[in-house]
Amino acid sequence: MASMILLVVIVLVALWLIVEPLRRGQLADPDAARRDDLLAERDRLYTELAAPAEEARRPDLERRAARTLRALDGLPPAPGPGGARRLALGGLILAALVTGIAAVTVVPRWQLASLDASEASNVQAVLSLPQLRARAEQSKANADYMAWGKAAFDSGQYDQALTAYGNALKLDPRQPVALRRLGILLLTRGEQTGQKISEQESTQAALLVRTAAQLAPNDPESQLLLGYTLARFGQSQDALGALERYRTLNPSGRDADELITALRARLQQSDPALSVYAASCASCHGPAGGGGIGPSLRASTLTRNALADIIRHGQGAMPAFPNLKATDLTLLLNLLEGWQKAGK
């Protein structure tokens, strides 16, 4: 309904562009007063030049007449009777262009503006899919396959995304985006189709995601999909580390919040060392030791004795924990040493 109102407004403006020049008829001449003065001056000078009694003044009259003629030549031509018709025709052409462009661009974009960013992006991806698919199938170029795959993936057309990214990897097997997205699609294909995939297929799909994360370790989506993949294989600690890294790389990303919460709860229940860490350290150093207010404990190079001393007595902004039980301290130090060996 709103789009129809917008089109009506555009058409009314177009009609005004056509009708107004015709209604006014002869177009106004903005230089009319100046033009009339110069014409009158020219005619008066010509009359004086034609009079025999003015022979003595002829050189002066001729100079003045020449200046008047140059001034007339410098004015824009006066609109003729056909000026209104020409402007109306121009208005008709302009109106047709405006209406046509609005029909295919302004109205769709105005409609998309009522959607949120993700919905609008999905709609645009769906609309572009046929053209992108045709271009990729014709050119068989890597860039066109990747563009088709992105549009298909973003719009939820996963069968097309599988085909597009598969073809792109045949041309260049070291493309992180294609690797991780193809891997996660293969890994979750059973949920999409209702057909169970084999253990071998799951392992191969996970390998694609892992490879992508190795090729692009600082890409947020690499860590996000790696975290989901590791969680599916029961590797909760590594999954949490990948998802925490995703949150560090993309602070506004909320895609993994529920899984992160579930993994934290699962790990704290099953690992007493993580329970100690969660109670005393996680608020500053991050739930998985990756850093927060305090530095990353995974990147730390401190010895076991140095760590124990800092935990007991504090250092800088870090508070001391003198009342920590010896058994809990041992569990915590074992955990921190394991993280140091695993690294970031």
Tell me which of 317 and 122 has the higher pLDDT. 317
Residue 39 tokens, joined: 């014409």
Q: Note the pLDDT of residue 32.
A: 75
pLDDT band at 224 (very low <50, low <70, confident <90, very high): very high
Q: Quick one: which of 168, 107, 169 has its CA closest to 142?
A: 168
Q: Note the pLDDT of residue 167.
A: 94
pLDDT in tens, 268-289: 666 788 778 877 887 788 767 7
Q: Note the pLDDT of residue 176.
A: 94
- DSSP state letters, 300-341: ----HHHHHHHHHH-BTTBPP-TT--HHHHHHHHHHHHHHHH
Q: Note the pLDDT of residue 146.
A: 93
pLDDT band at 110 (very low <50, low <70, confident <90, very high): very low
H or E stretch covering 190? helix 189-193
- DSSP state letters, 259-284: HHHHHHHHHHHH-HHHHHHHHHTHHH
Average pLDDT value for residue range 106-125? 52
Query: Per DSSP, what are the bridge partners of residue 318?
Result: 315
**Is 135 a residue whose pLDDT tops 70?**
yes
Residue 177 tokens, joined: 């985006």
Q: Is the pTM of this model over 0.85?
A: no
CB 158 within 8 Å of CB 169? no
Residues 6+ apart with CB under 8 A from 326: none
Picking from 92-101, 163-172, 203-212, which range would have the lowest pLDDT averaged per residue?
A: 92-101
pLDDT band at 17 (very low <50, low <70, confident <90, very high): low
Average pLDDT value for residue range 14-31? 57
**Is 239 a residue whose pLDDT tops 80?**
yes
**Is 115 a residue whose pLDDT tops 50?**
no
Query: What are the Cα distances from residue 153, in Å, to 63, 125, 182, 192?
Result: 80, 9, 10, 13
Distance of alpha carbon 340 from alpha carbon 223, whole angstroms: 19
Distance of alpha carbon 111 from alpha carbon 179, whole angstroms: 35
Residue 242 tokens, joined: 């990948």
Residue 118 tokens, joined: 């993700």
Residue 189 tokens, joined: 């294909």
Average pLDDT value for residue range 213-222? 93
pLDDT band at 111 (very low <50, low <70, confident <90, very high): very low
**Is 193 a residue whose pLDDT tops 70?**
no
**Is 187 a residue whose pLDDT tops 60?**
yes
Distance of alpha carbon 324 from alpha carbon 207, whole angstroms: 42
Q: Note the pLDDT of residue 107.
A: 43
pLDDT band at 179 (very low <50, low <70, confident <90, very high): very high
Q: Quick one: which of 249, 182, 239 has its CA closest to 212?
A: 182
Tell me which of 133 and 63 has the higher pLDDT. 133
pLDDT in tens, 291-319: 777 888 888 888 999 989 999 999 888 88
Query: What are the Cα distances from residue 39, in Å, to 35, 36, 44, 57, 319?
Result: 6, 5, 9, 21, 97
Tell me which of 181 and 290 has the higher pLDDT. 181
Q: What percent of the chain has pLDDT over 70?
A: 70
Chain-centre distance of CA 295, in angstroms? 32
Residue 61 tokens, joined: 């009259």
Q: Report the 10 Å Cβ neighbour count for 120.
A: 15
Q: Note the pLDDT of residue 336.
A: 86
Average pLDDT value for residue range 164-182? 93
